Copies of this chain bind each other. A is one copy, B any other.
Amino acid sequence: MAILNLFVPKDRKFFPLFEASTLNLVEISNVFYEMLKCNDVQKRKEMTRTIEDLEHVGDKLSHSIFNELNLSFITPFDREDIHALTSAIDNVVDNIHGAAKRIDIYKVEEIDESMVKLGELIRMGSEELHKAVTLLKNNKKTAEISACCVKINTIENHADDVFDMTIGRLFEVEKDAIKLIKIKEILSTMETATDMCEDAANVIQSIIIKHA
């Protein structure tokens, strides 16, 4: 019982921080998706600033998790998994922010249909990640968590296909090299966001295996 008491308080610390992190990610991915569907350059600029603010919130949450990790003797799962999951969530956020910032800095006027598609996939992946993290505190939900991870893998594969096809087409039709550089880099940053989401899912799957 004493051991259980030592364990439980940690759960009360880590799980809410993880859930807050992925909830923040869901919010960022929603703002980003709205931004991609918006034609008003000025409004897009404002949404980029919102994403920036939310990124700072995410940084603080990651910082809290790392502090907690350094101060805790007992953790709900392996220290390196907590570290890897936090970093992966952080990387998804960073790449969404990076894509939004580039759209702003590069003064992109028309958002390509493929970007909206990738934005939707990032949003879907973020939601599955939040769902998986929320279920993680209940160690009876292994099958449901696994299903989320499988979905994230499918989403990443889909994003890969959209990216490859779009890049192939871009090199065929876009003769303005500078415009090509801009679009290619934004698409690539978005595709990396889905990769990082898959990284997070892989950490979650390894946590599940260890606790099975």
Q: Which residue of B lies closest to A66 (CB)?
A: B206
Enumerate chain B residues within 8 angstroms of A106, measured Cβ to Cβ. Answer: 168, 171
Contact digits for A92-105, partner B, Cβ 8 Å, 1 yes 0 no: 00000000010001
Partner of A101, one of B164, B178, B180: B164
Distance A53 CA – B171 CA, assembled complex (angstroms): 25
A5 near B: Cβ within 8 Å?
A: no
Tell me the smallest distance from the CB of A53 to a CB of chain B, in Å. Answer: 15
Partner of A181, one of B177, B209, B210: B177
B107, A171: Cβ atoms under 8 Å? yes
Distance A210 CA – B71 CA, assembled complex (angstroms): 6
Q: Which residue of B lies closest to A209 (CB)?
A: B70
Enumerate chain B residues within 8 angstroms of A177, measured Cβ to Cβ. Answer: 177-178, 181
Tell me the smallest distance from the CB of A85 to a CB of chain B, in Å. Answer: 15
Identify which of residues 160-184 in chain A touch chain B, using a CB-to-CB cut-off of 8 Å: 164, 167-168, 171-172, 174-175, 177-178, 180-182, 184
Contact digits for A76-101, partner B, Cβ 8 Å, 1 yes 0 no: 00001000000000000000000001
Tell me the smallest distance from the CB of A204 to a CB of chain B, in Å. Answer: 12
A67 near B: Cβ within 8 Å?
A: yes
A171, B164: Cβ atoms under 8 Å? no
